[in-house]
């Protein structure tokens, strides 16, 4: 009863920010439908992936988990138990486990480390327990750990449904990774852990006067985005993604207390992206809950864009990514 899964993070093209007001807020149901692509890194020293091994066995007298060498306890352990206990109960098992996980990128820096972490954990656990569950159902379980994790189970472009029930709030694939020719260059300006996690930030969204407007506008943008992806319309995808990202950050900045995830380097990159666009290099920015910026571009522009961004003060690392593979099982275990 041992399994290992590998999963990658994703970047939201239509963001979710805030949870639906359902009877149990622990269900982690997004306030609005949202869209992402699962990103595969094009460099070997930072694959933006999580590898997780889980082993259920009578030899263990208690549950234990370790992430990047740190033994989990308290809230961190409870968070992974939300996912594992649902699957344990589905398998009618009460066997204890040992879990070990490795992330090859900074956690909680707005790079969606919780997305790859909970996607890998969900797939590995379901497999170790011998459960036969399809990806859509698995995505509802991953969502209990982190909303964005529901999307990382799938390859390519993904649609995540908001709903009033656990079963209906699932993520499904829109199309394969190669369907829409688009890459991104991630400009890392700060790798440290953010002070307010997205988990805590979601609860502040309702306090912003712009929250309702964002939700209304996102409902339209999510339809436009789906269409633009299916029509491989890079310009439309980029324009809508950038507009939607600005709405989310406007809500963050006007919640109570306000959340300013950007720093001066973030703004410098935003301005550079806008000026490159004016000069004819078509690129658009999108930013999650952190200061790092994803610059969307056409595959043939990755190299030029990387050179332009590298020249900016404060840019620490550049990671080219493309839409790619979701979570999958691996034969080699971590222990
Ligand atoms: O699922 P979480 O708690 O990692 O929240 C994700 C929030 C954003 O990254 C800011 C937006 C998104 O849709 O990924």
Note the pLDDT tens digit of each residue in 222-273: 999 999 999 999 999 999 999 999 999 999 999 999 999 999 999 999 999 9
The chain-wide mean pLDDT, for the chain, equals: 95
Q: Which atom of ligand 1 is nearest to the CA of 146?
A: 1
For residue 324, report the phi and psi dihedrals to the nearest 5 degrees: -155, -150
Residue from 107, 288, 292 to probe ligand 1 pocket by mutation (most atoms less than 8 Å from CB): 288
Q: Which atom of ligand 1 is nearest to the CA of 199?
A: 3
Ordered structural domains, the chain, with CATH: 2-330 (3.30.230.10)
**What is the model's pLDDT at position 125?**
98
**What is the model's pLDDT at position 111?**
66
Q: How far does the centroid of ligand 1 lie from the alpha carbon of residue 232, in Å?
A: 24
Whose CA is closest to atom 11 on ligand 1? 15
Q: How far does the centroid of ligand 1 lie from the alpha carbon of residue 18, in Å?
A: 9
Rg, Å, the chain Cα set = 19
Task: List residues near ligand 1 (CB under 6 A).
Answer: 12, 15-17, 34, 112, 114-115, 146-148, 198-199, 288-289
Q: Which atom of ligand 1 is nearest to the CA of 14?
A: 13
Query: What is the tens place of the pLDDT at every residue in 162-201?
Result: 999 999 999 999 999 999 999 999 999 998 777 888 888 9
Q: Which atom of ligand 1 is nearest to the CA of 289?
A: 10
Whose CA is closest to atom 12 on ligand 1? 15
Q: How far does the centroid of ligand 1 lie from the alpha carbon of residue 39, in Å?
A: 14
| CA 60 vs CA 64, 68, 87, 100: distances in Å | 9, 21, 18, 14
**What is the model's pLDDT at position 112?**
66
Residue from 149, 171, 198 to probe ligand 1 pocket by mutation (most atoms less than 8 Å from CB): 198
In this predicted model, which residue has the larger pLDDT, 265 or 45? Answer: 265
Q: How far does the centroid of ligand 1 lie from the alpha carbon of residue 313, in Å?
A: 27
Q: Which atom of ligand 1 is nearest to the CA of 110?
A: 9
């Amino acid at each position: 009863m041992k399994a290992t899964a590998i999963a990658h993070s994703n970047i939201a093209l239509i963001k979710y920010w805030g949870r639906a007001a359902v009877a149990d807020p622990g269900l982690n149901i997004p306030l609005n439908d949202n869209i992402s692509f699962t990103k595969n890194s094009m460099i070997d020293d930072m694959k933006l992936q999580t590898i997780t091994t889980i082993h259920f066995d009578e030899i263990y007298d208690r549950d234990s988990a370790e992430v990047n060498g740190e033994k989990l306890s308290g809230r961190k352990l409870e968070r992974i138990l939300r996912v594992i206990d649902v699957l344990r109960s589905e398998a009618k098992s009460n066997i204890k486990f040992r879990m070990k996980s490795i992330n090859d990128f900074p956690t909680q820096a707005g790079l969606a480390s919780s997305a790859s972490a909970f996607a890998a954990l969900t797939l590995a656990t379901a497999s170790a327990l011998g459960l036969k569950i399809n990806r859509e159902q698995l995505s509802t379980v991953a969502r209990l750990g982190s909303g964005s994790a529901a999307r990382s189970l799938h390859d390519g472009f993904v649609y995540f449904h908001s709903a009033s029930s656990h079963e209906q709030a699932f993520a499904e694939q829109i199309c394969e990774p190669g369907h829409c020719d688009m890459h991104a260059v991630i400009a890392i300006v700060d790798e440290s852990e953010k002070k307010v996690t997205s988990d805590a930030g979601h609860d502040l969204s309702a306090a912003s006067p712009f929250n309702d407007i964002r939700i209304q506008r996102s409902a339209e943008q999510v339809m436009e985005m789906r269409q633009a992806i299916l029509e491989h319309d890079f310009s439309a995808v980029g324009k809508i993604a950038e507009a939607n990202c600005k709405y989310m950050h406007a809500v963050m900045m006007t919640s109570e207390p306000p959340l300013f995830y950007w720093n001066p380097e973030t703004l410098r990159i935003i301005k550079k992206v806008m000026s490159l666009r004016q000069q004819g290099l078509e690129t658009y920015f999108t930013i999650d809950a952190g200061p790092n910026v994803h610059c969307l571009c056409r595959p043939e522009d990755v190299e030029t864009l990387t050179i332009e961004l590298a020249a900016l003060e404060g840019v620490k690392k550049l990671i080219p990514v493309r839409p790619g593979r979701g979570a999958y099982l691996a034969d080699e275990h971590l222990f």
